[in-house]
Every structure is written in C-alpha cells, then in structure tokens.
Structure 1
Amino acid sequence: MVLIVRNSFGCYSRISQCIKRHSKQTIGVRYCTRVKQPVLLFDEDRYNGVTANLQQVDINTVKTEDFSVQLAESLKIWKEENRTAAWLQVPITHSILIAIAGDLGFQYHHAEGNKAMLKLWLQTYREDPTPLFATHQVGVSGFVLNEENNEVLVVQDKNRPYTLWKFPGGLSNLGEDIGDTAVREVFEETGIKCEFKSILSFRQQHQHPGAFGRSDFYVICRLKPLTFSISACSDEIRQCKWMHISDIKQEVEASSLTKRLADMMEFGLANGFDKIDIHCEEMKSVYKGLKFKLYHRPFSIQNKSTD
C-alpha cells in the first residue's frame, strides 16, 4: 500500500510497504508509525531508481538535522525496496542541503543552470553501471569551398596561443543539428552565408585541453558558399581569407587535420563528391512523435525498407 503524508517540511511524501494497520489518521492525513520521518516524495525511473526533487523542502524553515534524518530514513526504505539508485535534484536555492547529502554518501553526477543532480548507488553488492554525464563535447567546422576557383575559407583564431590556419567552426548547441551548427558558426565568424551539403569526416580526441575533462568529437562539414564578401568577427578571428586548396597543403601554419581535409576535398573535386560525402537522412524515431538524423554513405537498394 502506498500512503501520501504531509511531513514537517510542509510537503507531501510517499511511504511504500506500509499497510493500513500500521498507520494512523490525524486531521485527514496519514502518518506511518514504522518510520521516524516520512520519506521524501520521489518519482520512479525505468531502472528501479528514485529521484527526489528537493524543491519540495521548505528551505526557509527546515532544520538541517531534521533533513538529515529524513534523508537517512528515505535511504533506509529505498534500500529495503532494493532500489538501484537514489537521485537528488537540488535547486541552487537549496544548495545548503548538498553537504548533508554528501555526508550520507551522495556525489555530484552533473550540474547545469540553476540545479545540480546528486546520485547515490544503492546496490553496493554490484558494480554501478550508471554512465557519466556528457562524456563528449561536439564541435563542428565548415569546409567552405568555392568550386569556381577552388578556394577555401580559412581563419586564424584570435584567442589561441598559435596562429594556425583552420576552418571556421565551434561547439554545437543543445538540440542543434550538425549541419545547422556548421552554417551558423561560419556565418558568425566570417559573415559568409552557406548551404550545408554533407559531412566529410569527424575527429575523436581524448584529453582535449578545452573540453573540461571530456572527450571531444569534431565534425567537418562540406558547405557551399552563397556569399563571398568576408566580414570577420573581431572578437574571435585574427585573420580570415580565401585560400587556394593547393596552398593549404603547402601552408606551414596549418594542422595535419586541415591538410588531410584538403587532400580529401581535392579527391572529391577530381572524382566526384559522391565518393567522399556522408549524407543525412531524417527518419522516424522509436520514441513517439520524434525524428532523428541518420548520417551514412550513399547507397542504392532495390527493396528499400519503409517506416
């Protein structure tokens, strides 16, 4: 039986495995005599874990020692129920409660905006399979090629210790498609408007110095320029220009990545971009109402599957 109670913090909580004969009625609100404090109100997840949003705690009146007891009692019951993990969503306004949770074994899983998420793995008899939060960051750059003269748009970053020529680009925003990132970043840095054509390749790098301890995916897109007059962003770009693709390969101040992409683009110019392009196909997701982008090399098949 599941009971809803109102605790001393002024919030409603749920107590599991409590039958009617162990409860008492007081002013229409049930309390369970099996525990000293009611458990925190929580949601269940599909992995048999629980998540409690500490917004439910009245931070203006709560006593830290009372919250410590309530959280400890909650953990005791969740362990008895063989829950996998306990999660606490902590608003920044309730950050005083983080130290209390830490004393009971909780650790940070991630934090963003005005809240932090703490986690405690409860099934200590087996390994914790919970993935780390945001193991990679995603950067995107645009290889902008003017096919009429084989010139490529290149930049030198202003806020870096080196002056290598590279392709304009930056980090992808949450919910932003890769192609849209490439088009946006090129325009923001150079003033050149472009059309996304394909993905050429991607780089994976670990121990990236600018990724806050995360690994890094860097996706290079082929873009078609729609305008050609450069208006570089003075805050980010030291220099920006059109450079012939053959000059990039000879340029001393260019990275191995930049030169290899120039090799790839030369191959595409000579043999057709269909030999190097990775295209995008929008498909229906298994999650109702959602779609996803599938990137793959072009292919033909007689009996193509349908959604």
Structure 2
Amino acid sequence: MDQVVAENGVQQVELLFAVNDDHGGVIVEMKEPMDSKAFLSLLRASISQWKQQGKNGVWIKLPIGLVNLVETAVKLLVVQEKSGRLQGKGIWKIPTGVVDEGEDIFAAAVREVKEETNIDTEFVEILAFRQFHKVFFEKSDLSFLCILSPLSFDIQKQELEIEAAQWMPFEEYAAQPITQKHGLFKYISEICLAKVDREYVGFSPLPMTSSFDDQVTYIYLNNHDLNQ
C-alpha cells in the first residue's frame, strides 16, 4: 500500500498500490487477504487521489481467493422511483432524467445523478443509445446510457421523486426478474458487465470549436481506438 506525500512530509493516508496502464488509468492487483470494509475505505481514498491526478480509469485484478472483495469493487448506484410505471413495484433502476434545453448530454447525466442522489460524479462515456418514436408530443426521442465515476459516496435521496437509493452489488441488480426479462434492462446489464470486464469501449465527449461562430460543441467518439 502507498501513502500520500505532502510538501511538509508524509500524511498518514493509506492507498491501494497501483501501476499506470497504457491508457491513462491505473491497475490494482490484489494479492493479500483483506477485510471488505477495510478494502472499501482504501478504495475510496485511492479513487479520490487518482482523480486528482487525472487518471482515466481503475482496473482491479482479484484472484478467486479474494472473491469477498468483488461486491465492494463492483457496485451500481440505483434508485426506486415514487412515480411512473415502476412506482411501488420494488424495482431498482439506474438514475434517469431529461436533458434541459441547451444542455450537453454529459452535463445532464452528472446533474441528474446529483439531483436524485446527491452523489457527485465525473462523466466517463456514453455506452449506448436508443431511439424511441412518437413519445413526447408524438416526436422521436433519444435515450442515452452513460457511465459516470463517483466522486462522493454518501447518498441523500431526493424526497420528491425518489423512494429509495443505494449502492447495489452488480450481481444483485442483474438478478432482478425485470432485468432478466425486459429487453432494455437486460441490455443495460450486459453492457455494464462488458464495460466492467474491460471489453467494451463507449463514446467520450471531445470539445470542438465551430469555425463560424467560435461556439464550443462536443463530438462523441471512441477515443480509445482513435488514439491507437
């Protein structure tokens, strides 16, 4: 394990030992047994430090003997809504919302999570999108599945719209009957699992300046493969 070093000496803040990868992230390879609560504390402190260093991602390698740490390492932020078709059904879903006029997709995703759960996040990628026809005012609608990285962990649910909110082990979310049967929920689960397994690359926002009016807009692209 590492320690955080300040200008005036060494602060007693333990971090998980990590090595840099080839894509601006870090790799943590766990080898020694550890209590899951201690691991969670170290993981949170480490993620905070890596964010300050500008790291793009964290990959954790766990041998089968440390399976007790998997639940801590892979969790989703999920909510139950107070209104809509899922009201009162006890179904856990990822936070959702609507993009405001003039708002970028990545900013809307961060804002909606903050409004519903008070969790601060950093946008990572658009993993997928779906087109709906004849939705609001008989117009087409685009729905984007996004992945964000948490910058805080203590949940304070929005009382007006959210019945409950929690961090849930991915396996528990995927085991819900609706996740197994409903097409959209099933694909969300499969895509998230592919991302966790480091097999799936989504689309990241890249700022662009218009040659006509100097307005900054964003193009979403597979930045990983583009830079290969």
The answer as to whether partners of 1:168 and 1:186 remain within 8 angstroms in 2 is yes
Please give the secondary structure, in 1, of the residue aligned with 2:197. helix
2:80 is the alignment partner of 1:153: no
* Aligned counterpart in structure 2 of residue 243 of structure 1, from 160, 163, 168: 168
Q: How does 1:37-76 map to 2 (within 5 A)?
A: none
Q: How does 1:140-179 map to 2 (within 5 A)?
A: 149-162=73-86, 163=89, 164-179=91-106
Please give the secondary structure, in 2, of the residue aligned with 1:261. helix
Larger deviation, residues 224-233 vs 282-291: 282-291
Q: CA deviation at 1:166?
A: 1.7
* Residue of structure 2 equivalent to 1:182: 109
C-alpha RMSD of matched pairs (Å): 2.0
**Aligned partners of 2:157 and 2:124: how far apart in 1?**
23
**Aligned partners of 1:204 and 1:257: how far apart in 2?**
12
Percentage of identical aligned residues: 32
Q: How does 1:1-307 map to 2 (within 5 A)?
A: 149-162=73-86, 163=89, 164-208=91-135, 211-254=136-179, 255-272=182-199, 275-298=200-223, 299-300=225-226
**Aligned partners of 1:206 and 1:156: how far apart in 2?**
26
**Aligned partners of 2:183 and 2:173: how far apart in 1?**
11
**Aligned partners of 1:277 and 1:154: how far apart in 2?**
21
Q: 1:198 to 1:235 in 2, by over 3 A?
A: same
**Aligned partners of 1:170 and 1:154: how far apart in 2?**
13
Please give the secondary structure, in 1, of the residue aligned with 2:138. coil
Choose between structure 1 and 2 for higher RCO, CA contacts under 8 A separated by at least 6 residues. Answer: 2
Normalising by structure 2, we get a TM-score of 0.61
Q: Which digits, 9 at most, give the CA deviation of each residue in 1:124-178, with x for residues without a partner? A: xxxxxxxxxxxxxxxxxxxxxxx85201011121111323322112111111111
Normalising by structure 1, we get a TM-score of 0.46
Q: Which digits, 9 at most, give the CA deviation of each residue in 1:233-273, with x for residues without a partner? A: 1110122121111222210244432331221121122235x
**Aligned partners of 2:160 and 2:227: how far apart in 1?**
49
**Aligned partners of 2:154 and 2:226: how far apart in 1?**
39
**Aligned partners of 1:172 and 1:181: how far apart in 2?**
5
Q: How many residues align?
A: 152
Unaligned ranges ≥5, structure 2: 1-59, 61-71
Please give the secondary structure, in 1, of the residue aligned with 2:137. coil
Matched AA of 2:75: E
**Aligned partners of 1:271 and 1:227: how far apart in 2?**
23
The answer as to whether partners of 2:125 and 2:148 remain within 8 angstroms in 1 is yes
Asked which structure has the greater CA Rg, the reply is 1
